Amino acid sequence: MIKLTDITLKVKKIRQGRYGDFCVADLSTEIGDFKVKDPLLDQFEDGDYSGTVWISEIYLAQYIAWGKGVTEIRARLHDLQLDGVKARSPDTELPEPDPAEEVPAPQARRQPVTEPERSQPAASDLAAVKQRLQQIGRKPKPESESQNNDEQLAQLFDDMWPLVCSKQPVKFDPTVDRLILRQQTEAIKKMGYRFLATEQTWYPV
């Protein structure tokens, strides 16, 4: 574990990615400059952030983008404590590839082959046909869209959902799957929350 003070984290937000908006950053420290592509950055906006970082790993990463091989030194953050933020306009340089696409997609699970059901007696078939005929012309009861939406949000936020419902401050777990964290970020923005980078916490506006 390495603790570095007086660092500058230049966060760049990439918009309209395949899996939604995401962020990458350039970390400037007394021991060198590193790329940071940790999931927790996806909550941030464009800007220059100052403070202290705890680095758990420094490693060499390689990827191919726009037909070119890229090699860079990355730092994986264990923790981040910010004390200053300087807003910055979005960069116009060539966007970087989404870190989420560097992880291979999981293979689809094979579904077990089920044996076809045995044919039912003629009486049962006749009863089923009568039941279907009775349903003709009847409109299915529409499910409440708001109820469905609440159920989806409750599943997305999990244990944090009661806090969101009561408009309490919320701090996300940056160790969850990157795409889930992005979904949480987009959802909580639409619910009127704003991210305070110095506390890495979402507050209702």
Q: Transcribe 49-88 into DSSP letters.
A: EEEEEEEEEEEEEEEEETTEEEEEEEEEEEEEEEEEEEE-
Question: Domain segments of the chain: what residues?
Answer: 2-87, 145-204
Radius of gyration of the chain, Cα coordinates, nearest whole angstrom: 24
Q: Which tokens hold the place of 30?
A: 């007394």
Q: Which three-class secondary structure state does DSSP give residue 23? A: strand
Say what the pLDDT of residue 30 is: 96
Give the tens place of pLDDT for each residue, 174-204.
999 999 999 999 999 999 999 999 999 999 9
Neighbour count for residue 94 (Cβ, 10 Å): 7
Q: Which three-class secondary structure state does DSSP give residue 124? A: helix
Average of per-residue pLDDT across 88-110 = 64
* Averaged confidence pLDDT in the chain: 84
pTM strictly above 0.85: no
Say what the pLDDT of residue 65 is: 76
| Dihedral sign from CA coordinates of 26, 29, 33, 38 | negative
Give the tens place of pLDDT for each residue, 39-88.
999 999 999 999 999 999 999 998 887 778 889 999 999 999 999 898 87
Say what the pLDDT of residue 201 is: 97
Give the tens place of pLDDT for each residue, 111-132.
555 555 555 555 666 666 666 6
| 148 band by pLDDT with thresholds 50, 70 and 90 | confident
Instruction: Tell me if 204 sits within 8 A of 193, measured CB to CB.
Output: yes
Amino acid symbol at 110: R
Could you tell me which residue, 159 or 88, shows the higher pLDDT?
159
| 169 band by pLDDT with thresholds 50, 70 and 90 | very high
Say what the pLDDT of residue 129 is: 62
Taking alpha carbons only, the member of 141, 145, 200 closest to residue 169 is 200
Alpha-carbon distance of 38 to 29, in angstroms, equals 17
Alpha-carbon distance of 66 to 95, in angstroms, equals 10
Give the tens place of pLDDT for each residue, 4-28.
999 999 999 988 778 888 999 999 9
